[in-house]
Amino acid sequence: MNNHLRNILCVSFVIIISACASTDNHNKSIIDRYKEVLIDQDANHYRVTYEGPRWINKSAAEAQKVLDYSLLRSAELSLENDFPFFVILSNDSETREIIRDDPACNLDDMNQMYKKKCLRYKSIGDLTSVFLKDPLEVDVGTNIITDGAYEGKALFASLNVYEVISRRYNLDRSKYRFQEQRSVPDHMSASDSSRQSHVRDVPPSNNN
C-alpha cells in the first residue's frame, strides 16, 4: 500500500471516530436501555421505547417506572432537538409474560407449580410523540389541549418533565443539563411539587 493511500485511509478513520464521538456526546442521556425512532421528520414525530428488567412478580411500580422513563427520554429528545414542548400521540406500553429459558419450563407438560417458577414479567414503555416549538392552549389547571389537531391530548413542558422525573427516581443530572425554558404555563411548573401531577397524564395504553 503506497503512502498516499495509507494517509487517506488514516484521515478517513479519524473522521469516522470523531463523528461517532460527537454523536455519543449529543445523545447522552441520564438513563440507558432506551430506543428511539424518527417516524416523520417533517411532522417531528418520534417513538421512544424503554425496556425494564425481568421480574418474578408483576409490579405496578415497575410498570409506572418504565412508563416514566419513556416519558423522560421523550423530554430529553425534544430538548436535544430544540423543541421545548411535546404531546403524546399514542401509548403502546405493556407488561409481557415471559417463560424462562429452561428445560424444566417446557410448556407442554408444565403444571401450575412449575409455571409460577418459570414465569417472568417484563414491562415495556412505548410512546409516540410530536415535538412542538410553542405551547398550545390547555384547560385551566391541567395540561389537556382544548382545541386543534391535538385536542384532548396532554401537553408536556419538556424541561419540567425532565426535572420532575429525574428527581422522582434520584437520577444524576450533572452529566446533562438543559437551558431554562420560557413561556411555560404556571400550572406546569416543576418547582412546586403540588403542581407536578401533569407528568402522570399519559394517555391509557392501547394494550390494557
Domains of the chain, residue spans: 1-30, 32-200
pLDDT average, residue stretch 142-147: 93
**What is the pLDDT, as a whole number, of residue 175?**
66
pLDDT average, residue stretch 143-147: 94
Alpha-helix runs per DSSP H in 27-111: 60-80
pTM, rounded to two decimals? 0.74
Residue 204 or residue 109, greater confidence: 204
**What is the pLDDT, as a whole number, of residue 194?**
42
Q: Is the pLDDT reported for residue 43 higher than 90?
A: yes
Residue 47: phi and psi, rounded to 5, are -120, 130
d(CA 78, CA 174) in angstroms, rounded, equals 19
Task: Dump pLDDT digits (tens) for 73-129.
Answer: 999 999 999 999 999 999 999 999 988 887 777 766 656 656 778 889 999 999 999
Asked whether the beta carbons of 207 and 93 are under 8 A apart, the reply is yes
Round the average pLDDT of the chain to a whole number and report it.
79
pLDDT average, residue stretch 61-82: 96
pLDDT average, residue stretch 26-41: 86
